[in-house]
Copies of this chain bind each other. A is one copy, B any other.
Amino acid sequence: MIVVMKVGYSRDEIDGVIKRIEGSGLKSHVSQGIGHTIIGVLGQTFPELHDTLELLPGVEQVVPISKPYKLASREFHPQDTIVKVNGVTIGGDEIVIMAGPCAVESEDQLLATAQAVKASGANVLRGGAFKPRTSPYQFRGLGERGLRILAEVGKETGMPTITEVMAPNDVELVAEYADILQIGARNMQNFILLDEVGKLKKPVLLKRGLSSTIQEWLLAAEYILAQGNEQLVLCERGIRTFETYTRNTMDISAIPAIKKVSHLPIIADPSHATGKWYLVAPLALAAVAAGANGLIIEVHPNPDQALADGPQSLTFDNFRRLMAQLTPVAQAMNKKLAVSGTKAGINPATT
Residues of A within 8 A of B (CB): 2, 4, 20, 29, 31, 33-36, 38-42, 46-48, 51-52, 54-56, 60-61, 63, 65, 68-69, 132-140, 166-169, 186-187, 189-192, 209-211, 213-216, 219, 222-223, 226, 239-246, 249-257, 260, 273-274, 277-279, 282-283, 285-291, 303-311, 325, 328-329, 331-333
Asked if B246 and A249 make an inter-chain contact with CB atoms under 8 angstroms apart, the answer reads no
Asked if B189 and A134 make an inter-chain contact with CB atoms under 8 angstroms apart, the answer reads yes
7 further interface pairs, Cβ-Cβ under 8 Å (given A166-B192, A252-B252, A283-B290): A4-B63, A48-B308, A55-B303, A68-B135, A239-B249, A243-B251, A253-B283
Q: Chain B nearest CB: distance from A30 CB in Å? A: 9
Main secondary structure of the interface of A (DSSP, over half): mixed
Q: How many monomers of this protein are in the complex?
A: 4
Q: Chain B nearest CB: distance from A1 CB in Å? A: 8
Our pick among B48, B56, B309, B328 for the contact of A138 (Cβ within 8 Å) is B48
Q: Chain B nearest CB: distance from A71 CB in Å? A: 9
A190 to B55: give the CA distance in the assembly, Å.
34
A150 to B243: give the CA distance in the assembly, Å.
36
Asked if B219 and A135 make an inter-chain contact with CB atoms under 8 angstroms apart, the answer reads yes
Cβ–Cβ < 8 Å partners of A136 in chain B: 191, 219, 222-223, 226
3 residue pairs, one from A and one from B, having the closest CB atoms? A34-B40, A211-B211, A328-B332
A336 to B20: give the CA distance in the assembly, Å.
41
Q: Chain B nearest CB: distance from A185 CB in Å? A: 9
Closest to A290 in B: B286
